[in-house]
Structure 1
């Protein structure tokens, strides 16, 4: 059964019993993403790590360390 079919079945059952209809699928997806992000920041603070910019700083360290800089020859 797909998500849409389950939503339609739940809506039908709610209408039969006089209850509120359930939220549409995908309606609260961004809220869930924000909550996961906030939880990660909270855990970082508890572990005494920076709460913001961790991924960007890690990528900068990786790229800075992997780039081999060779001096240009003098003309």
Structure 2
């Protein structure tokens, strides 16, 4: 059964029981991504690490430590 079929079945059942319809598939995806980002930033601050730019800093350190080619 696909996600769409399950959603339609759940909507039908909710309508039959007089309950509110469930949210459509994918309706809250961006909200979940934002909450995950906020949680990671909060965890970083609590652990004493910078909340922003950690990946860029790590890449910068990695690129500066690499020996340069002589070509």
Q: Under a length normalisation based on structure 2, what TM-score does the superposition of the two structures give?
A: 0.90
Distance 1:5 1:57 in 2: 45
The aligned residue for residue 15 of structure 1 is 15
Which structure would you say has the larger Rg? 1
Q: Structure 1: state its 5+ residue gaps.
A: 71-75
* Displacement of 1:60: 1.2
Structure 1 distance, partners of 2:35, 2:66, is 34
Map Cα deviations across residues 19-63 of structure 1 (whole Å, 9 max, x no partner). Answer: 111000001000000000000000001100101110111111112
SS at match of 1:24: coil
What residue ranges of structure 2 are gaps of 5+ in the alignment?
Answer: none
Aligned to 2:57: 57
1:2–1:65 CA distance, 2 compared to 1 (3 A): same
Aligned length: 71
Alpha-carbon distance change, 23 to 46 in structure 1, aligned in 2, over 3 angstroms: same
- For normalisation by structure 1, the TM-score amounts to 0.85
